[in-house]
Amino acid sequence: MDAEAIREIFRGFGPVQIRRMFGGQGIYQGELMFALETGGELYLKVDEDSVKVLQELGSRPFTVAMRGGRTTLTSYWLMPESALDDPDEARDFAIMALGAARRAKVRKNTKAAAARKASKRPRKTASEPAT
């Protein structure tokens, strides 16, 4: 799927940026990737708040083949085929996926801040008396 076809699908959502990645394309609004295209299929970012919607529609997750024959699930699920030809439906799914991307960024930033805070705490050595 070329970049222009992707932009056409999401025309009801607004302007999107397309960036090549790993043999596919990342689909962004601003700095947030909310969808990806690979193998001619579009996958939408999901989280625990949104994955059930796509599960109920019979969607499936994007998986990555790893060494040793293992596969890894990702947080991207196949966009329903009906949305490919319906700009309003594609917009609604894009809004849902962008929400998942925003929530993931907040969680990531919160975890990073907690890790920075924890690394700045003084650590007691074995020779220090307990208080």
CA-to-CA distance for 106 and 81, rounded, in angstroms?
A: 30
Determine the pLDDT at residue 79: 97
End-to-end CA distance of the chain: 64
106 residue type, one letter: V
The arithmetic mean of pLDDT across residues 83-92, rounded, is 96
Q: Which two tokens stand for residue 1?
A: 């799927």
pLDDT in tens, 25-80: 999 999 999 999 999 999 999 999 899 999 999 999 998 888 888 888 889 999 99
Least confident among 48-57, 96-105, 109-118: 109-118
3-state secondary structure of 81: helix
Nearest to 34 by CA among 18, 57, 11: 18
Enumerate the H helices of the chain as residue ranges.
3-9, 51-56, 87-120
pLDDT-wise least confident of 42-46, 105-109, 122-126: 122-126
Instruction: Identify the pLDDT of residue 131.
Output: 55
CA-CA distance, 31 to 64, in Å (whole number)?
23
pLDDT given at position 122 = 65
What pTM value is reported for the model? Answer: 0.81
Pick the CATH number of 3-109 from 3.30.1460.30, 3.60.110.10, 3.80.10.10, 3.40.50.1010: 3.30.1460.30
Give the 3-state secondary structure of residue 42. strand
Determine the pLDDT at residue 85. Answer: 94
Structure tokens at 40: 């001619």
Domain ranges of the chain: 3-109
